[in-house]
Structure 1
Amino acid sequence: MDRNPPSYHDATKRPDWLEFVAGSVPVREYARLCLVSKRLYHQFAPRLWNDPLTVAAILTRDNDIEWFYRFMGHMTRVRESTRALVTSLDLRPFVVGAPEFTLFSWDKTLSQTLRMLPSTFPNLRCILLDGHPDVEADGLAAMLCSSSLVLSIPQCQAKLPSWFFVSPNLESLVYLDISAMPGSLRVPLHRPVLSPINLRSLRILKARGREMDDKTACLLFKTFQLQLWSVDLGYNKLTDGVFDDMQHFSFPAVSSRTGDFEVEGRLRYPPGESSASFGKFCFVDESDWSATFSHPHRYLVDAPLYTSNAQGGHDGTTNPRLDGRAKIRSDAPDAVKVALSGGPGNHSPLPEYIHDLDICRGHQGITHLYLSGNNISAAGLARMIRSSAGQLQHLECDSIFFRPHEASCPPWLASGKAKVSGFLGLAHVFRPVISSDLQVLRIHHSLVTQLPTLEGIGLSSMEALWLAETCLLPRAELAYPESFVPDMNPRLRSLTLTQIPRYSTGPLIEKLIHFLKLAAIQEQAIRDAKTGNRRGPSTLLGLRHIRLEIEPDPRESLLEDDGFGEEENGLDTEALMAQEFSFFRDWTSSPSKPPTSAARPPAATAHSYKAAEPQARNNPESVSTRPEQPAPGESPETGDSNPDDGDNSDDPGEYMTCICTGEDNTEFTVPVWIGPSPSSKQHRTRPAVREYARLLRHDPALQTDPQPASPNHVAAGVPSGSYIFTPAWDAMLFPTHLQQQQQRPRPSRRDLRGMRDVVSAIKAYRAQTRVAYNKDDGPDKAGLAAPLTTKTSDDGH
């Protein structure tokens, strides 16, 4: 509940019909209705005055800062009871023009005007002053009052001193946005003045673009611990090193309430086993249904959680997860402003109910996390998600780089100049068994497309796109055959795929369209589940919003700089591909020459185990073999060309005993699966398994950093419940040796010209499905496309 139960008088009084119709009255009629009678005045005056600047922007469409000055001059002549109705001042629509802001009738600067706010509007709760440059720090401190709940001052050029956070007017602050402002937050956090002592009510903190490093962010998590539920640290200097303190201070204990094993599977934690790169070891034990995301009850919400003591909380349950149907709270500034001040056309919440709102309460740590624009790796982000105990509800991390182990890192990537971005092989961390509360996700498109992004390799943008799609994509499909599909997590409502290339040779477009089709199929399946059992439990909403953020057109720069498309000024691809950057450099080297690597193999002893020994580590009732799911546009190398191909059930493979060091520096041993035995039938072994075994035999340096096999590894052929050497598996994406008869791929001008426009292809598909939707009157109409929200951005925003 967002507030306390109503009083007996409020619960039994007769409802006023004016309350129901007032919300439908246009804003432009409020002023005239206030003149009709006292009853109408008390109904419409608060709706008119609680956010006057937004109402003025709606009515007059005048967004000049001079209008604000005239408004403040007029407020000096307005009676105090009217000024007390103002609870929000939103100056974001008002554009600062010329440097001279002083009018003939108003001789005050913006900072001087802001100092008048507490005396002019005694009940002011929300101040939004985004992007106004000519504001002094003392003016920002003086404009707050004891009732302030929201302060949004991003991109203001004033440098906030440490004494700014000592103001007693910050104690009631719930929302604070100090993004893209000069100065560091390390000094206020270290003293500490930016702390719960001075901001005891703070729940939402946005500090984007503050040049925050890992030490400063860790100090932030240690200081506030579980107080904040929304933290925005995008576009800073964070790395994976920040996740240890985030896990320790900002996430609750593991929830004791889990989902249905038959629907979602179950997490199993081997006692005392962990590593610095993976964290606490865990396996996903699958049921007969969970591996294929096809259980008939996968669209049903969780059953209510009952307790025998209404006042004592849930019996033995910590951090209970959401049922999947309830909409998560929003931390957007507009939503926070409406929740705390009412917004234009609404009444403001009563002061005694403010701190009972859901947005003002603590939620056992972070539920909304923004990490875009940082130096975060895919493995580090996956480790953080596994350690969050399913707490995250809104996650954004679009810039994710794929960092292989140093033993499998090719020379061109180890140099630091090149970068591979992508979230490969980790789609399972967004399943309900791990991310049960997640509803909004913004992430790199490789989660769906399996296509990594190449940067800094010394080629043009078009050639980098071509190389990634023709060379790395088949290898990614070979090593990580399982990509994210809507039914993998029906609790997810909004998905934004970022950094999508503008052009494609074909597979990228096919994968995106295939994903849109699966989302439409999911929508129809949820609708069928509702109509099939009207008196049954509620159903999930499913994936309702899909946004595609497309990168800028790289051909524009090529036309200007390289004369792309002109036969006489075409790209010299032969010379470009011969540059030192080439990651094909070792592809034709002799197989007998091992690659150079600084990593040394761990202490390990080869040993063959019986088939029953690795299975003894699992729950025999929950282990199942995951069927391989073919992806659209799959290359012949990634699929099973022979119909008899598959796991060799008669051969458990070979295991190697490896000594590992846990996070607490304790040593333990695990049996690591190193592939099928040499005597097994090779035609019955999947290609990824053969490549994994070959890489281990070829380079002993890859025999390090053992980790539990993920559902993606199981889909590629690894026995369920086994441990594997992840450097050897990741090395499949960057092969060091191939057959000598293979030639280096080199894009020609015809290849680059033949790449298709992704935006045009998606729009053509959507137009086609809309036509089919309008023509179809049958039962499958809902599954075509219309209810699905898809947004394509041509500029990446």
Structure 2
Amino acid sequence: MAHPPSYQDATRKLDWLEIVAPYAHARDYARLCLVSKRFHRHFAPRLWNDPLTAANTLLLNRDNDLEWYYHFLEHVKDVRAATCALVTCLDLRGLGGRPASAEFSLDFSGPSLTATLRRLPAAFPRLRSILLDGHPDVDAGALVVASPSSVPPTFEPPLLLSIPHCQIKLPTAFFESAYVTGLVYLDVSDMSGSLKAPLTQLVLSSANLPRLRILKAQGREMDDATALLLFQAFGDQLWSLDLSRNNLTDRGLSFMCEWAFSRHSLRSDQTSGERFEVEGALSFCPGDDSEPFRSFCFVKESPWSATYSHPQRYLVDAPVYTRDVQGPTPQGIPCPVRLNGRVKIRDDSASSIQKILSANSMHLIPQLEEHVHDLDICQGHGGITHLYLNENNISAQAVVQMIRSTTGQLEHLDCDSMFLHGPSGSLPKWMPRTAKLSGILGAAHLFRPLFSSNLQVLRIHHSLVTQLPSLETDDLPTIANLWLAETFLLPKAELAYPEAFVPDMNPRLQSLTLTRIPRYSTGRVIEKLIGFLKLASVQERAIQDAQVSTRRGPFLLLGLRRIRLEFEHDPSEELAEFSDSLELGVPINSVTQEFSFFGNSGGWGSSPTTESSTPTITSNNTGSGKNSNKSHRTPPTSVERHTGGGRQPHSSVSELSENGQESGRLVELHHPETDSQSGLDFSVSGWTCGGGRGGGDGKSRRTTAVHEYLSFLRDRDLHTAAGTNRTPPEPASPNHVAAGCPPGSYIFTAAWDAILFSDCQSMRKPTRLELEGMRDVVGAIKAYRLETRRAFDTARRMNGRSGMPLLGEPHFHWSGRLEVSMKDTMAHYHASRYWR
């Protein structure tokens, strides 16, 4: 938020030059500056605030020419100090070009660019933005070795420094220099060396960088220990953090949840009011102050919230009024607020921050220094709101736990892939080492406004929408893995996690990017992606119908306006290398034992466990005990905590029955060592089985999921099914309820997740004919997009003068921005396309 104008600024008479200056052509700025001092006052800041952009793109049109930059620095020596003070941005991105001529043989090639950096503090005392992207040989440490006597009294430390990919290691003293103490934006991605040394020596800290708000540290080989030092050093000071392509694991995410997020919750637990009717409410578990239940909660649904169909679901939040006049957030005590759902969230890219700080568009004048630090990007926002976790060694379970712990303040989340692990953080014992699963299943409800109140931009694995995990093996080609995952794993995923993300789950979400989408499909992935585009069109029509044509009509949410589909590389070339000797119907584990999901283990509970860590199971199959009947009359829906007396962990199972029919089974699992902080043990009433609800196909599907879940607990060791780390039962999520679990019950999620891998004995390798029958997903999406566009144009022509046709049915054209990006074999995305 910009600083409000003073009374004098608000009431003064505007100069007509202020009105016409934005419409003047940049090529005329130099001549207009010569007209008079009055003209110079208006046009000189527009010309000099970003001289490289002005000269290389608009005036001289000499792109990628470092020689001009060297000439410019020599010319600056003869420029007035007042004019040099107008320079607020130095953008060296893209400048490469020809080597310097003979007259500039001052070692200006290569290291000469580093030499020029030493002159910047004295040459441009009010330089706010420095961007050195694309110059790996530059030593950015030269910025802080300038002589203090050469710095003018009017010197202001820069606010933005972008130096990614520089291969010269930064000295430790770099972060202690007064030149970087005012940084708001810092990009040190893909540089030589590690951040562990400056973090350990406490030079990279909030004490030296008290105004830092945006930190990008991609590819710095940061492990969990280094990440902990980073989170401890800055706490909740940062609002944008990019840790992509590092070595973070689930433990690193737990450190982030502990240090880098606000504890002020934006979520609602009120079961009355308009918000409850639209979004539902949360019911936190008793004892949620302990570690196992810190973020566990049930979802209480209203008659509308479970189906995302409330008539007022597209209305923006009403403004919140406070007694105090809203001003700059006091530094050190920020408090996140729930956005109204329509406001544009902060852009944390270098170009956007540069434009705000330095007004490099040549049509705006940079704000005064006293107003810059009052900008929204320079304020604290109660912890991280923009988070990037791409290409780290993290699991889907850790991402789920992180989202539950953020209390709803995340606005931009970028996590392209995560491993599907068991509760212990590793693959089950019966899964081969060569097989890897990635994706996120059963977590669609976490992206509802009830949990993610401020989320507007999301980039995540496509399984959130398609319910298809990605399968990788070393002994089969990629296209065969795609066939296996879609043929065998997708039906089980749909059975265990019937709820996929749809646009109306979160109408506040404006941009969605789905990553790692397979290029070829048997047809199911195509159906799901096309179905999602149809639902986006239906949402757009619903927002259109909710609009009121009067001036005093309510403001509505924008809905999903941008969908980006990022596809994997084309595996069709691997088909030529696929062996013809693989026959239809040959089980995988009979061809190669390494790829057998089950092998000889038989699934859960195959690995031996020690007696001290295995609970004792006492089963009462008759269900005639007194306690069993009492439990049946009062279903357990809460966690009871009590002090422990050093008891050994044990479990008791009692079967519940009604009218002679099995309806549920109660498990009480005691773990006196789980809550290590408080020293208290707890008992959890865990529901382990039960019949489905509803009728028709839905009842059959949910009952199947419940019975498969029951089989893992009845036929295998209970402790192993619950997790080798004594993982307690968790509250049933809306996905579990949709699959047949009773609302308000607890289940062992590790055993439930095992449904995905049941019946893997039937897995077989595909034949060449089956692989050749797979369809191109990109081609199918393009054909669907052209078809809907053609139908929409036809409807528009038929309407004639009556106006634009309504969106949605029957053409299902979606007017948002659909982007498609394909990945080549060099592991980066290219050939991005925009399909209108």
Q: Which residue of 2 aligns with 1:148?
A: 158
Contact kept? 2:637, 2:685, Cα under 8 Å: no
What is the aligned counterpart of 1:195 among 188, 205, 219? Answer: 205
Structure 1 residue 658 corresponds to structure 2 residue 672: no
What is the aligned counterpart of 2:253 among 243, 258, 262? Answer: 243
What does 1:404-443 correspond to in 2, within 5 Å?
404-405=422-423, 409-411=427-429, 413=431, 415-443=432-460
Contact kept? 1:370, 1:397, Cα under 8 Å: yes
Contact kept? 1:409, 1:734, Cα under 8 Å: no
Q: Which residue of 2 aligns with 1:629?
A: none
What is the aligned counterpart of 1:771 among 787, 790, 793? Answer: 790
Following superposition, the deviation at residue 451 of structure 1 comes to 0.6
What does 1:427-576 correspond to in 2, within 5 Å?
427-531=444-548, 535-559=552-576, 562=577, 570=580, 572=582
What is the aligned counterpart of 1:117 among 114, 117, 120? Answer: 120
Helix, strand or coil for the counterpart of 2:711? helix
Contact kept? 1:408, 1:727, Cα under 8 Å: no
TM-score, with structure 2 as normaliser? 0.84
Q: Which residue of 2 aligns with 1:356?
A: 374
Q: Which residue of 1 aligns with 2:689?
A: 675
Helix, strand or coil for the counterpart of 1:56? helix
What CA distance in whole angstroms lies between the structure 2 residues aligned with 1:771 and 1:264? 36
Following superposition, the deviation at residue 688 of structure 1 comes to 0.6
What CA distance in whole angstroms lies between the structure 2 residues aligned with 1:160 and 1:180? 12
Structure 1 residue 753 corresponds to structure 2 residue 780: no
Following superposition, the deviation at residue 453 of structure 1 comes to 0.5
Contact kept? 1:73, 1:106, Cα under 8 Å: no
Contact kept? 1:648, 1:685, Cα under 8 Å: no
Superimposed CA distance per residue, residues 20-64 of structure 1 (whole angstroms, 9 cap, x where no aligned partner): 443333433333433444433322221121111122332215113
Q: Which residue of 1 aligns with 2:76?
A: 75
Superimposed CA distance per residue, residues 613-656 of structure 1 (whole angstroms, 9 cap, x where no aligned partner): 237649xxxxxxxxxxxxxxxxxxxxxxxxxxxx9999651211
Paired residue total: 750
What CA distance in whole angstroms lies between the structure 1 residues aligned with 2:779 and 2:16? 51
Contact kept? 2:266, 2:408, Cα under 8 Å: no
Closer, same or farther: CA 289–648 of 1 in aligned 2, 3 Å: farther
Superimposed CA distance per residue, residues 38-96 of structure 1 (whole angstroms, 9 cap, x where no aligned partner): 43332222112111112233221511322322222332333333222110011112136
Closer, same or farther: CA 544–785 of 1 in aligned 2, 3 Å: same
Contact kept? 1:586, 1:737, Cα under 8 Å: no
The amino acid across from 2:794 in the alignment is K
Structure 1 residue 44 corresponds to structure 2 residue 62: no
Superimposed CA distance per residue, residues 528-558 of structure 1 (whole angstroms, 9 cap, x where no aligned partner): 2123775343111111111111111122355
Helix, strand or coil for the counterpart of 1:654? strand
Closer, same or farther: CA 167–683 of 1 in aligned 2, 3 Å: closer
Contact kept? 1:255, 1:318, Cα under 8 Å: no
Q: Which residue of 2 aligns with 1:729?
A: 752
What CA distance in whole angstroms lies between the structure 1 residues aligned with 2:276 and 2:196? 45
What does 1:73-472 correspond to in 2, within 5 Å?
73-95=74-96, 103-105=102-104, 107=106, 108=108, 109-142=112-145, 146-255=156-265, 258=268, 260-273=275-288, 279-310=294-325, 319-345=336-362, 346-405=364-423, 409-411=427-429, 413=431, 415-472=432-489
Following superposition, the deviation at residue 718 of structure 1 comes to 0.4
Following superposition, the deviation at residue 205 of structure 1 comes to 0.7
Contact kept? 2:479, 2:572, Cα under 8 Å: yes
Superimposed CA distance per residue, residues 119-163 of structure 1 (whole angstroms, 9 cap, x where no aligned partner): 211211100001312222542434796331100000001101211
Instruction: Considering Cα pairs closer than 8 Å and 6+ residues apart, tell me whether 1 or 2 has the greater RCO.
Output: 1
What CA distance in whole angstroms lies between the structure 2 residues aligned with 1:525 and 1:250? 38
Q: Which residue of 2 aligns with 1:66?
A: 67
What CA distance in whole angstroms lies between the structure 1 residues aligned with 2:223 and 2:659? 49
What does 1:586-597 correspond to in 2, within 5 Å?
586=599, 595-596=606-607
Contact kept? 1:504, 1:758, Cα under 8 Å: yes
Contact kept? 2:386, 2:411, Cα under 8 Å: yes
Closer, same or farther: CA 372–237 of 1 in aligned 2, 3 Å: same
What CA distance in whole angstroms lies between the structure 2 residues aligned with 1:475 and 1:203? 43
Closer, same or farther: CA 185–780 of 1 in aligned 2, 3 Å: same
Helix, strand or coil for the counterpart of 1:781? coil
Helix, strand or coil for the counterpart of 2:531? helix
What CA distance in whole angstroms lies between the structure 2 residues aligned with 1:457 and 1:135? 40
The amino acid across from 1:47 in the alignment is R
Superimposed CA distance per residue, residues 482-504 of structure 1 (whole angstroms, 9 cap, x where no aligned partner): 01111111111111111111111
Bigger shift: residues 478-487 or 16-25: 16-25
What CA distance in whole angstroms lies between the structure 1 residues aligned with 2:596 and 2:62? 56
Contact kept? 1:96, 1:132, Cα under 8 Å: no
What CA distance in whole angstroms lies between the structure 2 residues aligned with 1:570 and 1:74? 71
Closer, same or farther: CA 737–698 of 1 in aligned 2, 3 Å: farther
What CA distance in whole angstroms lies between the structure 1 residues aligned with 2:381 and 2:714? 50
Contact kept? 1:90, 1:128, Cα under 8 Å: yes
What CA distance in whole angstroms lies between the structure 2 residues aligned with 1:711 and 1:532? 37
Contact kept? 2:278, 2:312, Cα under 8 Å: yes
What CA distance in whole angstroms lies between the structure 1 residues aligned with 2:434 and 2:290? 28
What CA distance in whole angstroms lies between the structure 2 residues aligned with 1:508 and 1:193? 50
What CA distance in whole angstroms lies between the structure 2 residues aligned with 1:197 and 1:503? 52
Contact kept? 2:260, 2:384, Cα under 8 Å: yes
Following superposition, the deviation at residue 388 of structure 1 comes to 0.8
Contact kept? 2:689, 2:706, Cα under 8 Å: yes
Closer, same or farther: CA 465–61 of 1 in aligned 2, 3 Å: farther
What CA distance in whole angstroms lies between the structure 1 residues aligned with 2:789 and 2:659? 46
Contact kept? 2:497, 2:736, Cα under 8 Å: yes
Q: Which residue of 1 aligns with 2:624?
A: none
What CA distance in whole angstroms lies between the structure 1 residues aligned with 2:188 and 2:334? 37
- Gap runs ≥5 in structure 1: 619-646
What CA distance in whole angstroms lies between the structure 2 residues aligned with 1:165 and 1:282? 42
Q: Which residue of 2 aligns with 1:642?
A: none
Q: Which residue of 2 aligns with 1:582?
A: 595
Bigger shift: residues 766-775 or 544-553: 766-775
Structure 1 residue 7 corresponds to structure 2 residue 15: no
TM-score, with structure 1 as normaliser? 0.88
What CA distance in whole angstroms lies between the structure 2 residues aligned with 1:74 and 1:760? 55
Following superposition, the deviation at residue 673 of structure 1 comes to 0.8
Contact kept? 2:334, 2:380, Cα under 8 Å: no
Following superposition, the deviation at residue 525 of structure 1 comes to 1.1
Bigger shift: residues 775-784 or 205-214: 775-784
Following superposition, the deviation at residue 685 of structure 1 comes to 6.1
What CA distance in whole angstroms lies between the structure 2 residues aligned with 1:388 and 1:737? 36
- RMSD (CA atoms): 3.2
Helix, strand or coil for the counterpart of 2:208? coil
Closer, same or farther: CA 248–103 of 1 in aligned 2, 3 Å: farther
What CA distance in whole angstroms lies between the structure 1 residues aligned with 2:659 and 2:819? 45
What CA distance in whole angstroms lies between the structure 2 residues aligned with 1:429 and 1:130? 36
- Gap runs ≥5 in structure 2: 269-273, 620-626, 640-657, 830-836
What CA distance in whole angstroms lies between the structure 2 residues aligned with 1:558 and 1:96? 43
The amino acid across from 1:400 in the alignment is M
The amino acid across from 1:791 in the alignment is E
Bigger shift: residues 683-692 or 492-501: 683-692
What CA distance in whole angstroms lies between the structure 2 residues aligned with 1:44 and 1:385? 48
Following superposition, the deviation at residue 245 of structure 1 comes to 2.4
Bigger shift: residues 35-44 or 360-369: 35-44
What CA distance in whole angstroms lies between the structure 2 residues aligned with 1:649 and 1:261? 38
What CA distance in whole angstroms lies between the structure 1 residues aligned with 2:195 and 2:660? 58
